Amino acid sequence: MKKVIVILIALSGTALFGREKAGTERPAATSSGMAAQRVMASCAAPGASKEVWYNNVRTIIFSGGDMWWDRNGNGNAYYYIPAVQNRAQGVSSSFAGSIWLGGLDAGGGLKVAAMTYRQNGIDFWPGPLDTVDASADPAVCAKYDQVYTITRAEVEGFKAGGLIPLNVSNWPGNGDLSKRQGKRLAPFVDVNFDDLYDPTAGDYPAYDIENKAEKDALGFCKTKLFGDYTIFWVFNDNGGLHTETGGVPIGVEVRAQAFAFKTNDEINNMTFYNYEVFNRSSFQLNQTYFTVWTDADLDISLMIMLVVM
């Protein structure tokens, strides 16, 4: 199994671009080519969302991997720099975005997972996959149809001897082994080395609180949780038919972070995204491509780094 880490940095620009008009989401439906797909679940469409509203940026993340657009409201853009209390008075620099993945199986067949505006349906569902057969469980999809938030400040306060904050208590550190999920899910510091996330034993979400994180051979910090304000969520591409693209499911599990830093410089105007992509299937994916698709309302600079582990 290969794990790929995708790091995305979004910077605002100034040149104006046109954008697509998002259509309404339609119920999942079969079409020629889709009927032959073998899927192992029929998960409900992802519905949870959470704002990233920190420093000078205000935007939104959805549990299905799409982001930066107001699908719960009028369908318009939702990435404001500067952050505004009244969104009607703001200018959005981006309309929508999502991670896209694709590649060829051993027989040369194309497998792809991608999201845009959900006009046709979806390719991603919430939750981790079975690590043995890459199957998705509708109950697991429903359980993880949420996004988890944490701040470095509340973890520092807890580690300094404070009460256990609700966000620390609810952190999804472990997968469910009875459902053959990965034992570790959201990154955490295992104080007593028992591999179980237990804040009452002193475990905490894995910020580098003591500033002791080393760097790996590529120069990346070995810490697992980033930013001063962080959103974590997990999603997969095997929860049902790929009604957005019509593609064949890959069998990937994606653990994602959206985060921002508290600064007094230009980083105050940025948000960052980190994706860990696990191929849970038993098949190698060749000629694989990864990208973060973006429909920009302003010219946006993106820096994407891929790390294969």
Backbone angles phi, psi at 260, to 5 degrees: -145, 155
Look at residue 220 in the predicted model and tell me its pLDDT: 61
Look at residue 215 in the predicted model and tell me its pLDDT: 65
Burial degree of 283 (CB within 10 A; 0-12, 13-18, 19+): middle
180 CA to centre of own chain: 21
Look at residue 136 in the predicted model and tell me its pLDDT: 96
CA distances from 77 to 81, 117, 118, 199, 230 (A): 12, 11, 15, 38, 22
Look at residue 35 in the predicted model and tell me its pLDDT: 37
CA distance 96 to 114: 13
Look at residue 65 in the predicted model and tell me its pLDDT: 93
Q: Write out pLDDT tens, residues 98-124.
A: 999 999 999 999 999 999 988 889 999
Look at residue 222 in the predicted model and tell me its pLDDT: 60
Q: Write out pLDDT tens, residues 1-44.
A: 555 554 555 544 433 333 444 444 433 333 333 333 444 579 99
Residue matched to tokens 């981006």: 94
Could you say which residues of the chain have pLDDT below 70? Answer: 1-40, 212-223, 299-309
CA distance 98 to 100: 6
